[in-house]
A and B are shown apart, each in its own frame.
Chain A
Amino acid sequence: MAEATADRRLGPGRVYARLVGAEVRSAMEYPASFALGVVSSLLLTGLSLVGVAAVFTNVDELSGWTAEEVVLLYGLASTGFYLTDLLVGQLDELGLMIRTGTLDVLLLRPRRVLPQILAGDVDLRSLGKVAQGLVALAIGLSLADLAPSPAAVALRVLVALVGATAIYAAVWIASISICFWLVDSREVSAAFTYGGRDMSSYPLGIYGQALREVARFVIPLAFAAYYPTLGLVGRADPLGGSPALAWAGPLVGAVALAVALAVWRTGLRAYRSTGA
């Protein structure tokens, strides 16, 4: 009986906290190697800024955006994306778990599957990738002409990051769920996750009509970084969106997460072990 009570107290949040705690302790066993991992992932992810920088050695503006504004956009998208990577990046292993049968082990435990996977193998070196995003964000914030007051900027950035993280997480969970039906589909989800990251690092205006509509109404990537950046630099949306959309990230993210979790649950119910 006492055991049962203790058991109930160990909800998904606690399970997650404990497993992450264990991961932190194990990483700290080799502090030098951990530091090296963080720094190298910071530098390596930073190479993608090379792409953005390269674009602006050829042109002064891209679809009406200056280099500073695009760096800001990249910084918001990148920070949000890598925060998401830190939280749910382990989902990339889902296809492998299904193929090798390790998912069945998790299903046997009296705990929800998603938190178990998320806490399974948190790669803390990803903190370096988040730091890379923050560096880009700081550069963008200091170079771009910002419209709101400093306090308002801080609030807007915070809201934007919460929204971006929720939206990317929703995309990640929903797209990796395809693995429940098609084991070999990891590459498809990479298009949505990593492709979504790349896509939201550039102004929406450079894309064709179809892609723009998708980013606004279907896979709401436009709310992750595009609208918040427009708000920060005080520019009207050339596509006619309201300035209030800059604040919509968390709400859109919450709806998207609810949809994504529904997809996940449907997938998990449809899942038949590969018998491996």
Chain B
Amino acid sequence: MRVYVEVARRSFRRFATYRGATGAALFTNTFFGIVLTAVVVAVSRERGSAIGGLDEAGLVTQVWLGQGMIAVVDVFVRHPELMERIRSGDVVVDLFRPVDLQAWWAAVDGGRAAYEVLVRFLPPVTIGVVLFGARLPAGRDVPAVVAALVLAVAVSFGIRFLAYCSGFWLLDAKGAVRMLMTVWIVGAGMTIPLPLLPDAVEVPLRALPFASTIQLVSDVWTGTARPSLPGSLGLQAAWAVALIGAGRVVQARATRKVVVQGG
């Protein structure tokens, strides 16, 4: 167990060395936040009443929370190291180590996510709260928000680990990952908050794991968790368990049956 804690700590420190990109990313998150805020505010004012339980400030909150979550749950799949290692065959080195492949990469991802919370999550959310009227979660919801955030990272890791492992069979998982990313962005509520969608679209999207990575965190944050707070956290937990479990099955099959490409 200690080895995974150490891996996570070192992963955190490794990401902390790339400071240059952080300022650039904050600029981008802020710009997209401003544009999306204008859209949801215009919709909310035109409508004149709450939409899906969210008033104007609630929608603005989701916009800025979403901008903060992008890097934490890596919706844009910016760190596909494992995918590259499977493609190049370097994954064999990982498999030789006396540690579990999935747990190793989960630890790496945990360290990464912890770092992103500090530098990519807190700044845009702070800007949203201070300058654009986004809300902070109610005090009693804070532990639930933290739990939802951790579960979101777990679900996101589950999704990405499965996608990368498709590379054991597809040889190059890039195309699959790109497709996944686009569906993920919409399904997580990044293109438009899911409560703005008609029920016929919103309900199925909420059942998919993508919603668990951002939309459900936002629901808990704004106090609009559905059907209830435990139900919402339970759905996230169920997806985390199912996806990480599926990842274990896939990993076992891949390491037993697949001939890794070398070179």
Contacts and interface: CB of A to CB of B under 8 A. Distances in A.
Interface of A: 37, 40, 44-45, 47-48, 50-51, 54-55, 57-63, 182-188, 190-192, 195, 198-199, 202, 206-208, 211
B76 to A, nearest CB: 10
Given A63-B42, A198-B32, A206-B39, A58 B24 contact: no
Interface stretch (B138-146, B153-161, B191-199): B191-199
A217 B124 CA distance: 27
Given A182-B24, A199-B35, A58 B186 contact: no
Contacts of A40: 179
Contact of B192 (A44, A55, A191): A55
A258 to B, nearest CB: 25
Interface residues of B, number: 32
B260 interface: no
B182 A47 contact: yes
A198 B28 CA distance: 13
B78 to A, nearest CB: 10
B51 A58 contact: yes
A185 B39 contact: no
Contacts of B25: 187
A48 B190 CA distance: 10
A191 B198 contact: no
B169 interface: no
Nearest to A46: B182
12 contacts: A44-B182, A54-B201, A55-B43, A58-B43, A59-B47, A184-B20, A185-B24, A187-B24, A191-B27, A191-B28, A195-B32, A206-B41
Contact of A61 (B18, B20, B24, B46): B46
A186 B24 contact: yes
A6 to B, nearest CB: 38
Contacts of B28: 187-188, 190-191, 195
B21 A57 contact: no
Interface of A is mostly: helix
Given A51-B191, A184-B20, A208 B38 contact: yes
B31 interface: yes
Contact of B196 (A47, A54, A190, A207): A54
Interface in B14-64: 18, 20-21, 24-25, 27-28, 31-32, 34-36, 38-39, 41-43, 46-47, 51
Nearest to A63: B42
Contact of A50 (B31, B43, B47, B191): B191
A62 B198 contact: no
Contacts of A51: 191-192
Nearest to A47: B186
Contacts of A50: 186, 191-192, 197, 201
B20 A182 contact: yes
Contacts of A182: 20, 24
A225 B51 CA distance: 29
Nearest to B18: A184
Nearest to B46: A59
Q: Give the residue among A40, A59, A192, A198 with the most B Cβ atoms within 10 A.
A: A59
Contact of B42 (A62, A185, A186): A62
Nearest to A199: B35
A-B pairs with the 9 shortest C-beta distances? A184-B20, A206-B42, A191-B31, A187-B24, A191-B28, A44-B182, A59-B46, A51-B192, A184-B21
Contacts of A208: 38
A198 B186 CA distance: 14
B212 to A, nearest CB: 19
Contacts of A59: 43, 46-47
B103 to A, nearest CB: 31
Q: Give the residue among A58, A182, A184, A211 with the most B Cβ atoms within 10 A.
A: A58
B197 A57 contact: yes
A184 B196 contact: no
Q: Give the residue among B35, B43, B47 with the most A Cβ atoms within 10 A.
A: B35
Given A57-B198, A183-B20, A202 B38 contact: yes
Nearest to A60: B46
B43 A62 contact: yes
B211 to A, nearest CB: 14
